[in-house]
Structure 1
Amino acid sequence: MKMIKVDNNENEGCLNTDVIFDILSRVLAKPLLSMKCISREWHNIISNRSFIKAQLQNTKLDLNGFIVQDRYMISKRDIKTVSYIPVESKNGAKVVHQMVFGFLPEDVVVLASCKGIVCCRSCLPSPNPTIYVCNPSNREWIQLKWSPPCDITESIALAFDFDFEPSKFKLVRVKCIELNNNEDEGDFFFTFELYCSETKAWRKSTEICNCKDDMIKNRGIYIGGFLHWLTEGDQILTFDVEKEMSLLIPVPVPPANELRIVAACIGEYEGRLHYVQVSEQGLHVWCLEDLFEFKWILKDCKLLENFEVEYPRFFFNLKNRVLESSEDTTNPWMNPLCFKDGKLLIKVSAELYIYDMKKDKMVHACSFLQLKPQSMSHPTVFPFSLTLVSLKDA
């Protein structure tokens, strides 16, 4: 019978890696979390770092749901309510959860989500602003100091990869600074600060990126060593985490250039950056085939009329409503919120739907009012996947 040494400083010894180990390592994280309760032996196996590493190598990380939170109000006070919308239905109806981060010591604002690990910060105002990096699946968390000045508008993105050493991650804080001189009025530039879990310290990068637009939806997406932010203009801000170099990627245009873009978001699918846009014609999903040549490929196109025909219970007079609201950039009638693994969470009027691009299927997720919003404008949305990754040694 094969034996391996347990890779755990607290538990020295040997772990029996027989058929049970091999079978369980091929099971997805969600059922494994319940299987921990079967016996002490299974709990020890599933909690072991060697098992977690094998399970990550043998299984695919599935999208389990979306984390939704209102953006700060005009008063510059954070909104505390955080909601979780599961992808899978329970008894035909999706249940919205609102205590996902109840294990943390205070109310938080979600900043980033990457491969099951979530970065949050204290709700402001706060006497002791703190950043939390946590795994809601196993309720583990660590905290680090949020160095001043604490700006409610700044964006902190999370770079985490299973290829890294266990529990190692980086945070990238990007600040948008507006130029005040008359010549460059209305222009911005971005600066970057990095936190490494190994050094446990922040440092400022020498990289600066000039841009004419601020960021939109304030959310960074990590894909293959690069972080991406969608700007309010026609570009995507991209930052190479290792080389600390930035570039601006022009977004693709609809098939007919005269069509107005109503709303857009970026996301990840099959390890590539995707750009999702709603235009006066319909829904377009683009894939970035080449990062440096800015080559986009149209992967999916769905006319607004087709949505009406296929889902008459959901949509009525959709195209006209989208056209009528095309001037309202704060609350468009049809607003793509988050795209991950071929699934798009999209807000249409006051309802939320999940569109599965692979299956060409639309399902109703919930009413936007179920999230207890304090405004009807752009919420911040993050994809979430269950994972067994431990943060104990971070």
Structure 2
Amino acid sequence: MRDQKKVKGLEGTREGWLPHHLQFEVLWRLPSKTLAWARFVSKEWKNIVSDRTFIKLQLKPREPLSGFFIQGRYEWSDGDVKSVSYISVDRDFIKVEKGVLNFLPENVVILSSSNGLIFCRSSFPCSEPVLYVCNPLNREWITLQWRNLPEDSSTALIFEPFKSQIDVSTDFKVVTVCQTYIEEDEDEDEDEDEDVVQFSFKIYSSQTKVWTKSKAICVGGYNLQNKACVFVEGVIFWLTNGDRILMFDPERDLSSVFMQPIPTSDPDFTPGMCMGEAEGRLQCVLISEDGLKVWQLESWFSDRWSQKLFISLEELKKENPECMYHISEKLESHLTTDDTFPWINPLSFKVTTLLLRISTDIYASTLTPRRPNYSALILHWDPTPCSLPL
């Protein structure tokens, strides 16, 4: 009875404990079953829980990353690797599932992923290639016409189901970047004439069901890397083979090329690198003779990066002595040779989870400032792998 009287006495001041915005932040993190009871605590809580913005936020996935799709690529062959694997990175159970896209009518190559949807194309060689947008959970898909897209083009899927403040959307866009070569004007030193790369963009909308050509054109000096692109807050990013990153904003129809966090001025300096997303910002993960660094892009307008995490080689070796054995010597050897298949290479990064290849083994690791964990061996892989977070 005393407890009941005490609670009743505090009822008039309960809503004054926290500001409205902090109550909102606390409540949306509660499970749905708990929220059903929280509605009866006060009128303030009932109004928050019933608000459409709150409901929209509640519908979002609590875990931003469920796993990675991974598929190999043969560097010296025109044929595609047909097998596709899915790596679950559940905290309690990590496993590899094969044949996850066998419900499609043919073998495919994964090109991009976005919020649970997969975008892929027919495996080469084939007579009439098509494009697929599929949902691996309900095993449904739709096809798009190829429209004479170059085989070396790179494609990004944009699917933002919770972008609208009113309702959940099923619309999506496909953005393809094509690269062509143009000759620079002759200058005083004719021996320095070389071709440069021009990037152009095509956009497919599921609403209009047509491809449109963007007015944005960007000129750079390097080809795109054969790594997956990254979509962050409406902007798409691609790595190039130089020290630049290509970006494209389809909403504003803007494109630009800007510097990576560390320019590779030394031709022998080739750190392993991949891009990712965390906290709504573009991230770059680099592994070099200095250690492992995670950089965050603060503004692509000014090439402004900030270092978010640093783990020395000694720390990596101490926490993971088996897979990081002689890491310093091996990295130094790699950095002084022109090796297309480096000993250690980051594949994909999302929030705090890094997919990393060491030799021919792939590890899923959790990056924290004090305890980098590389103990989760996933699989042995022969072809050069590429991966996409889901």
Common topology (TM > 0.5):
yes
Distance 1:256 1:218 in 2: 22
2:173 is aligned with 1:174? no
2:198 is aligned with 1:189? yes
Q: Secondary structure at the match of 1:194?
A: strand
Between the aligned residues of both structures, percent identity stands at 36
2:386 is aligned with 1:383? no
Q: CA deviation at 1:313?
A: 2.7
In structure 2, what is the equivalent of residue 78 of structure 1? 80
Cα-to-partner distance string for 1:120-167 (whole Å, 9 max, x where unaligned)? 11111222211111111222211111111x432211111111215621
Q: CA deviation at 1:180?
A: 4.7
In structure 2, what is the equivalent of residue 344 of structure 1? 354
Q: Secondary structure at the match of 1:70?
A: strand
Q: Mean Cα displacement is larger for which, 182-191 or 138-147?
A: 182-191
Paired residues of 2:320 and 2:375 also in contact (CA < 8 A):
no
Q: Aligned partner of 1:178: which letter?
A: Y
Q: CA deviation at 1:365?
A: 3.7
Distance 2:282 2:61 in 1: 22
2:109 is aligned with 1:105? no
Distance 1:270-1:234 versus aligned 2 partners, 3 A rule: same
Q: Aligned partner of 1:285: which letter?
A: V
Q: Secondary structure at the match of 2:226?
A: coil
In structure 1, what is the equivalent of residue 123 of structure 2? 123
Show the 5 A alignment for 1:137-148.
137-148=137-148
Show the 5 A alignment for 1:241-390.
241-253=250-262, 260-326=269-335, 327-358=337-368, 360-366=371-377, 368-369=379-380, 371=381, 373=382, 375=383, 377=384, 379-384=385-390
Q: CA deviation at 1:364?
A: 3.4
Paired residues of 1:69 and 1:83 also in contact (CA < 8 A):
yes
Distance 1:328-1:343 versus aligned 2 partners, 3 A rule: farther
Unaligned stretches of 5+ residues in structure 1: 1-20, 27-49, 385-394
Q: Aligned partner of 1:153: which letter?
A: D
Aligned to 1:205, which of 195, 214, 217?
Answer: 214
In structure 1, what is the equivalent of residue 67 of structure 2? 65
Distance 1:131-1:179 versus aligned 2 partners, 3 A rule: same
Distance 1:246-1:333 versus aligned 2 partners, 3 A rule: same
Paired residues of 2:363 and 2:379 also in contact (CA < 8 A):
no
Show the 5 A alignment for 1:81-92.
81-88=83-90
TM score, norm. by length of structure 2: 0.78
Paired residues of 1:86 and 1:96 also in contact (CA < 8 A):
yes
Q: Secondary structure at the match of 2:106?
A: coil
Paired residues of 1:254 and 1:284 also in contact (CA < 8 A):
no
Q: CA deviation at 1:72?
A: 4.5
2:231 is aligned with 1:222? yes
Q: Secondary structure at the match of 1:74?
A: coil
Q: Secondary structure at the match of 2:97?
A: coil
Q: CA deviation at 1:225?
A: 1.0
Aligned to 2:33, which of 10, 16, 23?
Answer: 23
Paired residues of 2:323 and 2:358 also in contact (CA < 8 A):
no
TM score, norm. by length of structure 1: 0.77
Distance 1:308-1:258 versus aligned 2 partners, 3 A rule: farther
Distance 2:169 2:245 in 1: 30
Paired residues of 2:89 and 2:95 also in contact (CA < 8 A):
no
Distance 2:319 2:32 in 1: 44
Paired residues of 1:66 and 1:383 also in contact (CA < 8 A):
yes
Aligned pairs, how many? 331
Q: Aligned partner of 1:362: which letter?
A: N
2:160 is aligned with 1:151? no
Higher relative contact order (CA 8 A, sep 6+): 1
Q: Mean Cα displacement is larger for which, 346-355 or 194-203?
A: 346-355
Cα-to-partner distance string for 1:297-344 (whole Å, 9 max, x where unaligned)? 100111112111222132211110111112244111110110101111
Paired residues of 2:95 and 2:378 also in contact (CA < 8 A):
no
In structure 2, what is the equivalent of residue 12 of structure 1? none
Distance 1:267 1:103 in 2: 28
Distance 1:24 1:151 in 2: 52
In structure 1, what is the equivalent of residue 39 of structure 2? none
Distance 1:25-1:246 versus aligned 2 partners, 3 A rule: farther
Q: Secondary structure at the match of 2:208?
A: coil
User: Considering only aligned residues, what root-mean-square deviation do their CA atoms show, in Å?
Assistant: 2.8
Unaligned stretches of 5+ residues in structure 2: 1-30, 37-51, 187-192
Q: CA deviation at 1:366?
A: 3.2
